A and B are shown apart, each in its own frame.
Chain A
């Protein structure tokens, strides 16, 4: 073993770890001081002093978090591969715009990002929460303590002079751990000067996952984690209400945060969908993957909480549910963190983090907040004011409440399917306790899982769309019936007309889809009416809720049509040997395209034009042309460049990314599923015969029915050291029928060393070796090698048309804007009693 390593530059790592310890201890100090302040009460004389301690330690904690971030970024930027995290998640050839993405490939980095956002929100709350500060910050500081501990990286503890290895109970994972600690037994670390290998570029990092090298992946994780972080605020306000024994006052200040958080989390999720659509090959924006569901479910609950809080704000009812849902949102965020990072989902999800051994700690984090909430809510349950009055049928709150409950049911359905692996674990534990195999432990998701989701989620969506459509035409308390029904006439009429048009345009067939189309259009026009109506009033208030509802309705329409009516146009009609199965005919979506051979797909003539390499990326040029009826003129033409990533080290294609043409009314998605490079070994030429041929300049020769003509020979000489290097290059024109190629074999003379550089025309399976100059340069001798003509270059691709997917993106943007307007209105009209913003 080497005792000492040289030039390891351990200082930044030590500083980084110091910042980790600081962030943890200062969060703990801040937590304890805030608990103390809460116990002292508002008017205690020493409250001011404690507040200074609490605030400064919280701010110190936040600065420490920022310092960890900067230190780690510095190490990644300067390629200090002696650090495990840097080696694992970056490499020297990583484009600078993706440096930041290294933070969210690893668990430590993404915990750091989450901690960072939560600390920022904490500081905003210190500045704005006023009397709620101590209560709110107790919860946030507690979460910060738990999150900071995720970076501690404590694997052994010393007790009574004995060191105990914690194993699976380890606390956190330190992003500044050294590579030689992570892999102590590899030969590299027998070299005391291994740092020199890094500096000389011989030891490179493992690099960033190519799927993350996409612009959406630069912005999606920060926004999603900001959304994650923002879910703690309503929960913190609810708990602050309990701490201050003010069980009703917390709702008003928390409403802003619930609206904002719903917008941010929604934006993060939708950006993830955009990334999946742009960069992943499954062809779609949503796959009901457990990782997607894990953020969708808290969002549904948060939106449900938002509606309950609005009901309470206006009508003083639904408070108990608001308490539960605010807490449940955050608890579900913790649960989904546990699901995606503990390795529980290993068999059921394509993309979840690998187990870092933190599952014990994550479970503790989750259970701590669950039991804290249960303890507080059960103790105070009786004191939560409950409305004694019956809600009327013609009141807004009744239907809002129904909608909120429906959202919860929808969330329950999704999380139940997603949690099947967790049920297996629990069933296994129960079996262990009772000592037999009573419960089934090998459940998997349903085999037709998408249908199972649709079966309930579509009816939910139908009912929710109806509620969204008429909800705001009702007033709180009660509404005049005739007025209400009259106000629905225009939206209903418009939605019938427009959904009939869309039905006709899209060709939807499933009756459930048609109903959903109609109710979504009803939601759309209903809320457009609301927005117009309120702009006409003297308040000139933009109704954020209605805008968000319009966005949601458009998301439903866009998702519905683009998904139900997506159509593969690359159907393979020849060459198949599929199993005798009725379904299999519909799945022939991959089609072979030979280079430069046009293929008709739907209205387009598609040609594979060749590929071009840039770094590890191989771009395939796929040209689409649309002709007029007689094929006399081109109406439209564009080229898509889906790419594959070629891993030189393994000589394999590792992943492919689609390319999509966006039109206003539809998208054409194009994905390469294989190519001659990856799946046709016969692409390599096997040279079987050779013959020496003498060529004279500008005289044609024929060899094996291939025309040869020596165009010119040019001479270069360069001085390398004391030797002069001569380079002779022959330019040979090679013709095969109408096809013309050029080959340039070379001779390189370096003193007594003579090398020749062969030139190949792969398409014809012919290769030239420049042998010698004869007759004083009048002619030249070549060795001509000939083999089989290789397989022509080809790709197999999938082309899918997604109709009206832009409605989905438009809806996404509008929905997020709507939430933001609603949040803004909460601040702007704080004083006035506006209840329907």
Chain B
């Protein structure tokens, strides 16, 4: 019976260790303000592509350089740089999550998550003109 208690105790301690270590390593969703204050730290920023300011993806100049302005939840607009190709569904995304840190004036993203509307077409039925 004694060994069962030892195993139980080890398990509980280990479980707590796992929980604490995961929570300790978790990153945070922040606005660009916090990211600017703390440029050594990696953060998650949720926002929307500031469409009116365009974006830069010119594969002939550099196929692994994609830059776009992201407007975060409090209205800051910061240029985000991804050293990879532009994600295929970027234009359709209604929300963009970027993971990375500030490098000077730009936010260098190591990962971009694009959340697309569940459908790629218009949200309402559209009637086509008659094809003859």
Please state if B65 and A577 are interface contacts (CB–CB under 8 Å).
yes
Q: A581-B103, A654-B88 are in contact. Are A444 and B125 (CB under 8 A)?
A: no
Complex: A4 Cα to B127 Cα, angstroms:
20
Q: Does any Cβ of B come within 8 Å of A452's Cβ?
A: yes
Please state if B42 and A674 are interface contacts (CB–CB under 8 Å).
no
Please state if B3 and A390 are interface contacts (CB–CB under 8 Å).
yes
Please state if A572 and B64 are interface contacts (CB–CB under 8 Å).
yes
Identify which of B59, B65, B114, B120 contacts A680 (C-beta below 8 A): B59
Hey, which chain A residues are within 8 Å of B91, CB to CB?
652
Complex: A589 Cα to B124 Cα, angstroms:
39
Q: A346-B115, A456-B18, A652-B91 are in contact. Are A204 and B63 (CB under 8 A)?
A: no
Please state if B125 and A647 are interface contacts (CB–CB under 8 Å).
no
Hey, which chain A residues are within 8 Å of B42, CB to CB?
447-448
Hey, which chain B residues are within 8 Å of A391, CB to CB?
3
Complex: A346 Cα to B60 Cα, angstroms:
34
Closest to A590 in B: B63
Closest to B130 in A: A202
Please state if B18 and A409 are interface contacts (CB–CB under 8 Å).
yes
Q: Does any Cβ of B come within 8 Å of A420's Cβ?
A: yes
Identify which of A88, A281, A446 contacts B119 (C-beta below 8 A): A88
Please state if A649 and B18 are interface contacts (CB–CB under 8 Å).
no
B78-111 residues with Cβ-Cβ distance < 8 A to A are 81, 83-86, 88-89, 91-92, 95, 97, 99-100, 103, 106, 108, 110
Q: Does any Cβ of B come within 8 Å of A209's Cβ?
A: yes
Please state if B84 and A587 are interface contacts (CB–CB under 8 Å).
yes
Please state if B59 and A183 are interface contacts (CB–CB under 8 Å).
no
Q: Does any Cβ of B come within 8 Å of A405's Cβ?
A: yes
Identify which of B14, B119, B130 contacts A206 (C-beta below 8 A): B119
Closest to A442 in B: B29
Please state if A183 and B125 are interface contacts (CB–CB under 8 Å).
yes
CB distance from B116 to the nearest CB of A (A): 9
Q: Does any Cβ of B come within 8 Å of A128's Cβ?
A: no
Please state if B119 and A579 are interface contacts (CB–CB under 8 Å).
no
Complex: A329 Cα to B77 Cα, angstroms:
45
CB distance from B97 to the nearest CB of A (A): 6
Complex: A649 Cα to B110 Cα, angstroms:
32
Please state if A413 and B22 are interface contacts (CB–CB under 8 Å).
yes
Identify which of B26, B60, B95, B103 contacts A794 (C-beta below 8 A): B60
Please state if A442 and B30 are interface contacts (CB–CB under 8 Å).
yes
Identify which of A581, A589, A644 contacts B64 (C-beta below 8 A): A589
A408-465 residues with Cβ-Cβ distance < 8 A to B are 409, 412-413, 416-417, 420, 423, 440, 442-448, 452, 456
Which A positions have Cβ atoms within 8 angstroms of B?
Answer: 81, 87-88, 179, 183, 186, 188, 197, 200-204, 206-207, 209-210, 281, 346-348, 350, 353-354, 388, 390-391, 405, 409, 412-413, 416-417, 420, 423, 440, 442-448, 452, 456, 572, 575-579, 581, 584, 587-592, 644, 647, 649-650, 652-656, 673-674, 679-680, 791, 794, 796, 798
Which B positions have Cβ atoms within 8 angstroms of A?
Answer: 1-3, 7, 11, 14-15, 18-19, 22-23, 25-30, 42-44, 46, 57-65, 81, 83-86, 88-89, 91-92, 95, 97, 99-100, 103, 106, 108, 110, 113-115, 118-122, 124-131
7 residue pairs from A and B, CB less than 8 Å apart = A88-B119, A347-B95, A405-B11, A413-B22, A572-B62, A650-B120, A652-B92
